[in-house]
Homo-oligomer: A and B are copies of this chain.
Amino acid sequence: MSSANPHAWSEHARAVLARAGRQRGGARERVIELLARQPCALSAVEIEDELRARGEATGRASIYRVLDLLVEHGLAERVTVGQGQARFETVDPTGEHHHHLICERCGRLVAFDDPGLERAIDRVGQRLGMRVERHDVLLRGACERCE
């Protein structure tokens, strides 16, 4: 499905930010590198803890700033899977993305993508005459194993 090459994404992210006139900085570099190699979404707190554990302690404010910046530039997105805290994951520059089905029995998170669903969402936007810039879809139910 998605999740291309981590190196490609971090390069892309740096390029986009440079083009936007941002200077470089250590905190940003650390967050980008960490995010680039994640298979799944991380929360800001997890990022803070993981960086500290690696001896790369980074200020909380900087972490949130970097995350906001990435989201603003479409380089990452906020994934809200529960009620708790926001999680963040990289966005593939090709626009390719996926959605999730969460099994309410065992908690397993399954990713999927579906062109028919994407088309239906586009049509909703047109019908409502609103500019839909992004969309979140989360299906809840039972996975094959728990069925």
* A positions within 8 Å CB-CB of B: 78, 80, 83, 86, 101, 104, 110, 112, 114, 116-117, 119-121, 123-125, 127-144, 147
Contacts and interface: CB of A to CB of B under 8 A. Distances in A.
Q: How many copies does the complex hold?
A: 2
Contacts of A141: 125, 130-134
A125 B143 CA distance: 10
A128 B112 contact: yes
A124 B112 contact: yes
Contacts of A121: 117, 137, 139
A143 B143 CA distance: 36
Contact of A147 (B117, B120, B131): B131
